[in-house]
Amino acid sequence: MTYARQTDALLRQLTIAPFLDALIAAAPGRVDLETWSVIVEQAARFAQGVVDPLDATLDAVGARLAGGRVVTAPGHRAAWAQFAGDGWLTLALPEEAGGQGLPLLLTTACEELFNRASAAFTMLATPNRTAAAMIAGAADAATCETWVPKLASGEWTATICISEPDAGSDVGRIRTRAQRDADGTWRVTGEKCWISYGDHDLGARIGHCMLARTSDAPGARGLSLFLVPNVGDDGASNGVHVRRIEEKLGLHGSPTCVMGFEHAAATLIGAPDRGLQTLFHMMLLMRLSCAPQGVGVAEAALSTALGYARERRQGGDPAAPPVAITAHADVQRQLLRMAGRVEVTRGIALAAATVMDLVECAPPEDRAGWSALAQFLLPIAKDMSARLAFDVSSEALQVLGGAGYTREWPVERRLRDARVFAVFEGTSGIQALDLVHRRLWRDRGEGLHRFIAAARADCDDGAEAVVLAAVLDRLEAVAAILSGWPAEPREAEAGATAFLELCGLAVGGWIALRLVRFGGDDDVGRRLAAAARFMLAELPARAEAEASLALLGAARLDGFADYFAD
């Protein structure tokens, strides 16, 4: 199916995105909805015409190791060159760094389209643009002048290089070490794993944005950030080696590499022993990028399911021709639930992007508040989008029945690709713990309270608003109880994932209310409202269940040692 329905929905949601008025006030020259419309439509044409036809090849052929280097699938290099050449990497890059200076809000909309076409292809774009932004803001002038234009043009590429065999989310256990030679050159030695596009043949040079230990200070305090190129200025090897390409369930076109670094020359980015803080902004941008990734893949699965259901004929009066399965109540439920989740999660992604923009461009006295709201919304946007992609792909397969389980249809590919979304950039459990430990306890719920205030401002006495208000009341009550449990963290941790889901339901309900209220009265607006009303109809029951689970406590875990005893 074409990308027209998705493009229409994206453009409408861009015009009614939460906090858009604040963004216009803070940066009026950066918001031009007419220009945005043209850019989004161009992104849809590129995604559908260039990237989408490539995805099946990326999945079937994947990437291979030859002569110590990764070789990508046929057509991948040409598509990347066209993608980069058309300027898609520079949308949100500051103008002073050679970018277009457009908001993250617009980039998020375009990334959704590219991810619908191929999540594996688009995974290279995110570290490229986020590394360029990080280097532009934190590196010395010479490094900026060398690397930022090359990353922006796509001639060179970048990775985020953190994980090690014994150090995943627990970055304080990183053992890769950087030492300074007598001539002042930093040298890095160690092993890194799970590195997306750790090596490939799509660009002439790869810069690894890497955390390495520079002191014996415990935990993350001894880590510094380095830029480690795979080859030197002369094109000779820099002691960077591909150990292997991981054999994965999905995303075959995106080579996930285990990398070795042997006395590799490196450039320090930022201050020594402040690596995690320097890398933090890039990490936040990459976490935000997970949101349009999940929504894009979910949209692809929904589109396939809808097209199939309209054509597939089964059931009805035995004396009459069979009817399209869209006539059956349970299929309607499945399709409406998929559509509702896609639309509200799309709105959450756009809201999070707008708030991230405001962190950078709002008046200085307001930025701390926007930052607190961003920190609250990001784990919700990331986790909801990740699970959305897998759940919608799974439900789409259910709509297709046995056909969906075959490779004749792309749904099984979406399902395989999407499973890892809830794992990388922090698992669902990590996002949930972040929400409780940092956002609720450390920050005293400031971001949560700011969200609730914004949501209540959209509530009136209409039926949909009454539903949302009740869910907000329940969320506040649960948060108040959990806020009193920091002395007994296990009690709250046992319900953290349910609390994350409850927060997601409340934010999704707010977006649904806005879609009903502001979506418009034309065909696009009526579609958005129909999907939103379905979500609001189920919202109270789902919120009640998650609220109960969030407060159930740790007693239900008492049997763990007995069941799993050796």
Residue among 355, 415, 352 nearest 387 (CA):
415
Domains of the chain by range and CATH? 4-151 (1.10.540.10), 157-273 (2.40.110.20), 427-558 (no CATH)
Q: Which residues of 405-420 are buried (b: 16+ CB within 10 A; e: fewer)?
A: eeeebbbbbbbbbbbb
Residue 306, both tokens: 């809808």
Tell me the backbone φ, ψ of residue 222, rounded to 5 degrees. -95, 15
Distance of alpha carbon 464 from alpha carbon 206, whole angstroms: 51
Residue 63, both tokens: 């990437």
With contact defined as beta carbons under 8 Å apart, do 250 and 413 qualify?
yes
pLDDT (0 to 100) of residue 312: 87
CB-based contacts of 8: which residues, under 8 Å, 6+ apart?
A: 524
Tens digit of pLDDT per residue, the chain (566 long)?
689 999 999 999 999 999 999 999 999 888 999 999 999 999 999 999 999 999 999 999 999 999 999 999 999 999 999 999 999 999 998 888 888 999 999 999 999 999 999 999 999 999 999 999 999 989 999 999 999 999 999 999 999 999 988 877 777 788 999 999 988 899 999 999 999 999 999 999 999 999 999 988 877 788 999 999 999 988 899 999 999 999 999 999 999 999 999 999 999 999 998 898 999 889 999 999 999 999 999 999 999 999 999 998 888 888 888 888 898 999 999 999 999 999 999 999 999 999 999 999 999 999 999 999 999 999 999 999 999 999 999 999 999 999 999 999 999 999 999 999 999 888 888 899 999 999 999 999 999 999 999 999 999 888 889 999 999 999 999 999 998 877 788 889 999 999 999 999 999 999 999 999 999 999 999 999 999 999 999 999 999 999 999 999 999 999 898 899 87
Find tokens 């970055």 and name the residue: 171
| HEC assignment per residue over 139-165 | CCHHHHHHHHHHHHHCCEEEEEECCEC
First to last CA, the chain: 53
With contact defined as beta carbons under 8 Å apart, do 376 and 448 qualify?
yes
CB-based contacts of 58: which residues, under 8 Å, 6+ apart?
A: 73, 76, 118, 120, 121, 252, 253, 254
| pTM for this model (two decimals) | 0.94
pLDDT (0 to 100) of residue 449: 96
Pairing of strands 256-269, 186-196: antiparallel
The question of whether 425 is a catalytic residue gets the answer: yes
Question: Which one of the listed residues 299, 425, 491, 501 is annotated catalytic?
Answer: 425
The one-character DSSP state at 323 is P
Give residue-wise pLDDT tens across range 21-39.
999 999 988 899 999 999 9
Residue 207, both tokens: 């810069």
With contact defined as beta carbons under 8 Å apart, do 20 and 32 qualify?
no
pLDDT (0 to 100) of residue 324: 87
